[in-house]
Structure 1
Amino acid sequence: MEFGLIDCHCHLAAREFQEDLCHVIQRSKQAGVKTLVVVVEEAAEFSRVLQLQESYPDLVAPCFGLHPLQSCGGSEQRSVKPQDLDPVLQQFYAHGERLVAVGEIGLDFTPWCAPTQQDRDDQMNVFVKQLSVSKELDLPVNVHSRSAAKVTIDTMRQQGISQALLHNFAGKPSVALEGVKAGYYFSFPPAVCRNQQRDKLIRQIPLEHICLETDSPALGLDKDVRNEPSSIGLSCSYIAEVKGLSPQTVQVATAHNARRLFPKAKALGSCPDASR
């Protein structure tokens, strides 16, 4: 597969990879991965993702962003608040030249994560501020949209966002097609291989709007085993199967899509332009 695989959404800066990162990287390269778009969830990860880019400049494409859910000790999470973002906003601008996207940002309206209207309002406030940053820096956004697919897409359209990846999208096909009309892309991790729940969605989204992701260390083939970027081929093969295409066709198309979406990612420069 000559153009390589592009993981458009992974969490390589997560603590789960700290003990054996060099081996994780090696396995990714052996699997044919050419670019890792590394997103973060909290400001504490900002410096880590920049260190990763320094260590692997031809592989790691860094992003800054605050996830709609923030840790509050142990495995507990809470809705993000404006006071989480405000003190670190300047870091986006200070490092904007090194970033390929703003992410992972978005909305998570699952009842146990955002039980009150204030929680949802706070998430929206932080989301819109980060969308504004992405426009100022001329960067795409890498987006989480759990239990909030329609409002996420509607908000991005209202805010004038033209370049976005909706990762691990699980909304209705009709909602996804609204995103397609806006020019947005959708990515799916290896977890989609576990059952056929996303098949209808994957069939209806045009291949020209699909990218590959792992969301590692989460959302692997086995939910009890740490996922790695090296598993990206599972997503490629599954999408190919659902669409009745060859894995090679899906790989080449998704590489073109990734290059259009993340033009600042260095390693994408070797991919031929699909328009040629």
Structure 2
Amino acid sequence: MDGGFVDCHCHISAQEFDEDLEDVIQRAKEAGVKTLVSVTEKASEFERVIQLSKIYPGLVAPCLGIHPVQGFGSQDLRSVTEQDLEPALPLFQKYREDIVAIGEIGLDFTPWYTPHAQQREEQQSVFRKQLQISKELDLPVNVHSRSAAKVTIGILKEQGVSRALLHNFAGRLSVAMEGVQMGYYFSFPPAVCRNEQRVRLIKQIPLEHICLETDSPALGPDKHVRNEPKNIVLSSEYIAQMKGIPPETVVEATTQNALKLFPGIKKMSAPK
């Protein structure tokens, strides 16, 4: 697999794509996207993302994981519990040969989701258990961290995780640099151009540690419009602009980084 973009973190199994997924995929391919590393948030999504990887072989690279925030719609969101992880456990084993990473997993200490210390403890426990699974299955992790950057990187280090993608990272530069020292990668969606903290990170994190993502259907260039994988082009152009290098250099480097981080992609695209 040469050239083209790797979207290292998107939600292709999200309901927002149910109506016109074929068109979304077509537009992504036309934009030069070669691989969609597609994460899940809850156990009920696992079968769907695996199914999509069979419908679009070599394009959809599935990850399985339980997100730190559970529920539907903005009203019903809540912090993850051990019960949310329970139904996922046998599925990690069942699909171990089909997935390229464990994700989306991590921590989210946004106050309205996790007002209590006990919830933050339980989130960390669910996170650690999934990191354990990633080590047993020898897979990288696709990580969410919001208002919890230091704790997230601390746990990754403590658990001896060597391959991690920190998606849409917005922590302090010093914390990001700890991650860089551990060999972790950081990815930025099209919405970065709205955020000054991300600009600082993009300028300082070496290109050898940067990947591209869209996080579609969220975090697009326009807050109120559904994001799509084709918008990865905007991320790469923006990163190129911030670093003062040609966009082609960004595409080439980020694709190589993605293949290093997710070796399963190469296996998946190899002729059967």
TM bracket (short chain): over 0.9
Report the Cα distance in structure 2 between the residues aligned to 1:75 and 1:32, rounded to whole angstroms.
37
Q: Alpha-carbon deviation of 1:75?
A: 3.9
**Unpaired segments ≥5 residues, structure 2:** none
Is the CA contact (8 Å cut-off) linking 1:202 and 1:243 kept in structure 2? yes
Is the CA contact (8 Å cut-off) linking 1:34 and 1:267 kept in structure 2? no
Aligned sequence identity (%): 64
Q: Deviations over 1:146-188 (max 9, x none)?
A: 0000100010010010000000000011100000000100000
Q: Deviations over 1:3-37 (max 9, x none)?
A: 10000000000000000000000000000000000
Residue 187 (structure 1) aligns with: 187
* Letter matched to residue 69 of structure 1: V
* Letter matched to residue 132 of structure 1: Q
Matched residue pairs, number?
269
Greater Cα offset, 160-169 or 65-74: 65-74
* Letter matched to residue 14 of structure 2: A
Residue 240 (structure 1) aligns with: 240
TM-score (norm 1): 0.95
Residue 100 (structure 1) aligns with: 100
Q: Alpha-carbon deviation of 1:88?
A: 2.1
Residue 133 (structure 2) aligns with: 133
* Letter matched to residue 176 of structure 1: A
Is the CA contact (8 Å cut-off) linking 2:43 and 2:87 kept in structure 1? no
Residue 90 (structure 1) aligns with: 90
Are residues 171 and 23 of structure 1, via their aligned partners in 2, closer, same or farther at CA, if it must alter by over 3 Å? same
Report the Cα distance in structure 1 between the residues aligned to 2:74 and 2:166, rounded to whole angstroms.
27
Report the Cα distance in structure 2 between the residues aligned to 1:160 and 1:92, rounded to whole angstroms.
20
Q: Deviations over 1:191-228 (max 9, x none)?
A: 01224331111111000000000000000000100000
Report the Cα distance in structure 2 between the residues aligned to 1:41 and 1:126, rounded to whole angstroms.
13
Q: How does 1:1-276 map to 2 (within 5 A)?
A: 3-71=3-71, 75-266=75-266
* Letter matched to residue 68 of structure 1: P
Is the CA contact (8 Å cut-off) linking 2:58 and 2:268 kept in structure 1? no
Residue 274 (structure 1) aligns with: none
Instruction: Describe the SS at the equivalent of 1:7.
Output: strand
Is the CA contact (8 Å cut-off) linking 2:107 and 2:146 kept in structure 1? yes
Is the CA contact (8 Å cut-off) linking 1:42 and 1:66 kept in structure 2? yes
Report the Cα distance in structure 2 between the residues aligned to 1:195 and 1:124, rounded to whole angstroms.
27
Instruction: Describe the SS at the equivalent of 2:197.
Output: coil
Q: Alpha-carbon deviation of 1:267?
A: 7.6
Is the CA contact (8 Å cut-off) linking 1:187 and 1:213 kept in structure 2? yes
Is the CA contact (8 Å cut-off) linking 1:259 and 1:268 kept in structure 2? no
Report the Cα distance in structure 1 between the residues aligned to 2:34 and 2:150, rounded to whole angstroms.
32
Report the Cα distance in structure 1 between the residues aligned to 2:74 and 2:154, rounded to whole angstroms.
33
Report the Cα distance in structure 1 between the residues aligned to 2:87 and 2:268, rounded to whole angstroms.
33
Are residues 19 and 171 of structure 1, via their aligned partners in 2, closer, same or farther at CA, if it must alter by over 3 Å? same
Report the Cα distance in structure 2 between the residues aligned to 1:81 and 1:52, rounded to whole angstroms.
27
Report the Cα distance in structure 1 between the residues aligned to 2:211 and 2:72, rounded to whole angstroms.
32
Report the Cα distance in structure 2 between the residues aligned to 1:76 and 1:164, rounded to whole angstroms.
29
Is the CA contact (8 Å cut-off) linking 2:64 and 2:92 kept in structure 1? yes
Instruction: Describe the SS at the equivalent of 2:264.
Output: coil
Greater Cα offset, 93-102 or 193-202: 193-202
Q: Alpha-carbon deviation of 1:108?
A: 0.2
Report the Cα distance in structure 2 between the residues aligned to 1:72 and 1:236, rounded to whole angstroms.
31
CA-based RMSD? 1.4
Report the Cα distance in structure 2 between the residues aligned to 1:132 and 1:68, rounded to whole angstroms.
16
Q: Alpha-carbon deviation of 1:74?
A: 6.8
Report the Cα distance in structure 2 between the residues aligned to 1:269 and 1:217, rounded to whole angstroms.
24
Are residues 20 and 269 of structure 1, via their aligned partners in 2, closer, same or farther at CA, if it must alter by over 3 Å? closer
TM-score (norm 2): 0.96
